[in-house]
Amino acid sequence: MTRTKQTIGGHYQFLRSLGKGNFGQTYLAEDLHAKKRKVVVKQFCFVCNSQSTLNKAKELFEREAEVLYELSNDLQNNQVPHFIGFFEENQEFYLVEEFIEGRTLKEELAEKIRLPEDEVVDLLKDILAILKEINEKRIIHRDIKPDNIIIRANNGKPTLIDFGAVKEIARVVNTQFQAKQTIIYTPGYSPLEQLQGSAKFNSDIYALGITALEALTGLEPEKLKDDTGKVIWSNQIKVSDRLVEILQKMVDEDYRSRYQSAEDVLADLGELKKLQNTLMLAPKNYLLVQIIHKTVLQPTSIIPQWLKFPILLLIVIGIFGSTSFFGMRQLLMPLENNSSIPQPKQQKIIPKETSPKASNLPNKNNQNQENINPCPPILAPGESCQTTIKYKQH
């Protein structure tokens, strides 16, 4: 025979257990009235034989549930699970809220070991924005730790879960009606005043600071503290000095020296973010000014970019060639004007006697020609010989 799954509230059917604590258990369930939408059901139960005690617990439960309902509707960007409903059945109380698809920060750190500084700063800002809202509604979470921060699968945003309305009810009820006071905390993440049963609004700031240190170092809280419980971590990580100062103030053991509100931490983180952006953008802004100076203040060239290099090369070659040509010409001109090549000596010419009618005389072979003073067989150097021709008279 197949065992029927437990159904509470008439339409919430349990699928499996998600966890168990001192004051109840958490289940993953299906809402049969909403196309089997998955929801989280938190069951709160305590042993009580007094009807007056049960009535007081119910009153506290309803009041805290209404605050969570308003909180889930007021906060933006799904920073907390959407509150669906609450009811009492068989002297047990149930809280129903949205089931968030994603992984806890604890699971993320198990895979990545640690997160970079900028991601941790963003994480702090997101969670502090939630704390700011819940503190204004006089709510203290009391159990901030990596297990209670879910990174949504759809947008990567952190969501703070397990606000502990049921835990707060249990604390108040047990304090009022039982001899032994119940203290709500997680070892390593809770400050001294919370361990002593007197949680403050900035007790959540301490727990968030320890969570941030674990994300930065990959070390669990007990490895970040000395034997006295004081946090010593500055030698475990390398981050900006300003972030070190902020985290030191968040995890100060004395709540009076700690940040007094989430808003104060957000203000300092905002200044840190501006400083980081200034350092990152300064070189880019400088380059931008240079580009504007070149493109706006200088005249626009009509020569295409791909032609500029060949044209420049041709101009350089032309200038170099012209300079070389005229330079060589200047070097050769003195050689042409002051040449040392010897010129041939002019020969001494013996004048010849010609008659006025020489141009009209017959050929040298004419029989009427008579050679007079023939050239000697040997001439002196530099002399030439011309014969004088006389013509016979007829």
Task: Dump pLDDT digits (tens) for 253-272.
Answer: 999 999 999 999 999 998 88
pLDDT band at 175 (very low <50, low <70, confident <90, very high): low
What tens digit of pLDDT does each residue of 16-37 get? 998 886 667 899 999 999 988 9
Told to judge if 143 belongs to the known catalytic residues of this protein, a careful annotator would answer yes
Question: Whole-angstrom Cα distance, residue 337 to residue 331?
Answer: 11
Q: Range with the lowest mean pLDDT among 139-148, 224-233, 319-328, 333-342?
A: 333-342
User: Cα(182)–Cα(176) distance, rounded to whole angstroms?
Assistant: 10
Instruction: Label the pairing between strands 7-8 and 12-21.
Output: antiparallel
What gap in Å lies between CA 191 and CA 221, rounded to an integer? Answer: 12
Phi, psi (5° rounding) for residue 74?
Answer: -80, -40
pLDDT digits (tens, 9 = 90+) for 27-74: 999 999 998 899 999 888 766 677 777 777 777 777 767 777 877 777
The answer to whether residues 121 and 269 touch, using CB atoms and an 8 Å cutoff, is yes
**Of the listed ranges 120-124, 175-179, 211-215, 259-263, the one predicted with least confidence:** 175-179
Least Cα distance to 177 among 18, 47, 336, 356 occurs for 47
Q: What is the CA radius of gyration of the chain?
A: 54
E-strand spans in 131-283? 149-152, 158-160
Catalytic option among 31, 143, 162, 252: 143
**Model confidence, pTM:** 0.65
Give phi and psi for 25, each to the nearest 5.
Answer: -140, 155
Overall fold of domain 11-280:
Transferase(Phosphotransferase); domain 1 (1.10.510)
Q: Residue 336's pLDDT is what? A: 55
Pairing mode of beta strands 92-98, 83-89: antiparallel
pLDDT tens digits along 119-160 = 999 999 999 999 998 888 888 888 999 999 999 998 889 999
> Which pair of structure tokens corresponds to residue 309?
């290099």
The one-letter amino acid code at 155 reads N
Contacts of 62 (CB under 8 A, 6+ apart): 86
